[in-house]
Amino acid sequence: MSIKEKSAAPTKLIHCIVGARPNFVKIAPIMKALEFHPEVKVNLIHTGQHYDHKMSEAFFEDLEIPKPDRHLNVGSGSHAVQTARIMESYEQVILSDKPDLVLVVGDVNSTMACSIVAAKELVPVIHVEAGLRSGDRTMPEEINRIVTDALASYLFTSCQDGEDHLLREGVAPEKIHFVGNVMIDTLVDSLPLAAPKQMADKLDLEGKRYAVATIHRPSNVDDAAGFERILSILEAIGEIIPIVFPIHPRTQGRAEALDLADRLRACPGLILSPPLAYLEFVDLLRTARLVLTDSGGIQEETSVLGIHCLTLRDNTERPITIKMGSNHLVGTDPGQVIEKAKELLAGDRPKQHCQIPLWDGFASERVANLIVKICRGEI
């Protein structure tokens, strides 16, 4: 590409939407890939759905994401309140900027809210990570996925399951594009940067076996019965292996509200920490022996890293990580989870080479190339 071509004025404006921790990991490689396409101008819009430093700003630092062009500062609230605030604020931005495309990632409230605004303003929406389904509409994320996919003009999928779901729902095949998993691009790029963080050493776990836990979903922490099941699991497994638990602010708040904070702190073998920055968490994750989680993204990351993952849910929107990765869907019955944990800890680590198609570190390049084709009117 010549210097003259690099300096050519962009012809299409794209709004890239972020709002919560999972979004940053997915948007970072896409923005980097789009830097090589001068015919596209990118504006980063941060809704402010997550605003804690470790849940938001530290990701911009670790992943070298440019500062947002617009920060909506919506903050927390119920799903309805937060969604309404995002829609109200983003409407003013889209009317002012008049973007040609709006790109959303994942399944958080910001994803759905900005898609609704864009669709009403007749701006085409690109949904990266489209088609994932858990079949559980009690999960707010499932509603966000369904609504976003129904409104999107271009649906970029991370696995074959996503395409299958969309086709069953009546989405036209020409709107669906299998690109792979952009989150894995970030993971692959970050591994060399994460190792110097030496998180295991800082926690006095260097050379030792340890587990990592991340738990925050409403079904596990919103009521006392669910939270107590999680505590029973942590107490029993913590007797076998130390568990590092970077606690989500939401989980901490529910523990205090349910009068379970003292029991949580007293769990044997449990090492509680505040939320970690992305590189810190990747370093902690990469040498873990076992992971306990209800997160979607961690099911994917552990499958690539070759780490056994116990998903403490009754369903998952990422069944590919069970079929071809190292994920185990175990529910939240303490007896079943503890038995499975003992079985996995007594065996070998899974193979580290990921067999899932297009989870190869180049998904963001495929996304960028498709966006250029869209801007040129070629698809």
What pLDDT score was predicted for residue 5? 46
Of 248, 278, 280, 360, which is closest to residue 64 (Cα–Cα)? 278
Q: What is the DSSP letter of 132?
A: -
| CA neighbours closer than 13 Å in the CB half-sphere of residue 45 | 31
Per-residue pLDDT of the chain (379 residues; tens, 9 = 90+): 444 444 455 689 999 999 988 899 999 999 999 999 999 999 999 999 765 555 567 888 899 999 999 999 998 889 999 999 999 999 999 999 999 999 999 999 999 999 999 999 999 999 999 999 999 999 999 999 999 999 999 999 999 999 999 999 999 999 999 999 999 999 999 999 999 999 999 999 999 999 999 999 999 999 999 999 999 999 999 999 999 999 998 899 999 999 999 999 999 999 999 999 999 999 999 999 999 999 999 999 999 999 999 999 999 999 999 999 999 999 999 999 999 999 999 998 887 667 899 999 999 999 999 999 999 999 9
Residues 6+ apart with CB under 8 A from 59: 21, 24, 25, 28, 65, 277, 278
Distance CA 323, CA 105 (A): 24
What pLDDT score was predicted for residue 1? 44
Residue labelled with tokens 């999972």: 22
What pLDDT score was predicted for residue 260? 98
Q: Does domain 3-180+359-375 have CATH number 3.40.50.2000?
A: yes
What pLDDT score was predicted for residue 8? 54
Q: Which amino acid is at 351?
A: K
Cβ contact 196:202 at 8 Å: no
Distance CA 372, CA 37 (A): 7
Q: Helix 109-120 and helix 79-97: axis angle, to 10°?
A: 40
Q: Which amino acid is at 239?
A: E
Of 73, 106, 101, which is closest to residue 89 (Cα–Cα)? 73
What pLDDT score was predicted for residue 52? 57
Sorted by where each begins, the domain ranges of the chain are 3-180+359-375, 191-346
CATH of domain 191-346: 3.40.50.2000
What pLDDT score was predicted for residue 4? 44
Q: Output the pTM of the full model.
A: 0.93
What pLDDT score was predicted for residue 21? 87
Of 37, 2, 36, 31, which is closest to residue 17 (Cα–Cα)? 31
Distance CA 316, CA 245 (A): 21
Distance CA 281, CA 192 (A): 13
Give every strand in the sheet of 211-214, ordered side by side.
270-273, 243-246, 211-214, 290-293, 308-311, 327-329
Distance CA 113, CA 329 (A): 30
The percent helix, strand, coil of the chain (3-state, each to 5) is 50, 15, 35
Distance CA 171, CA 367 (A): 19
Residue labelled with tokens 């970050």: 190
Question: Which residues are known to be catalytic?
Answer: 216
Distance CA 142, CA 60 (A): 27
Partner residues linked to 44 by β-bridges: 16
φ, ψ of residue 258 to 5 degrees: the values are: -90, 5
Distance CA 115, CA 294 (A): 26
What pLDDT score was predicted for residue 53? 52
Distance CA 173, CA 26 (A): 24
Distance CA 228, CA 244 (A): 18
Counts of helices then strands in the chain (DSSP H, E): 18, 13
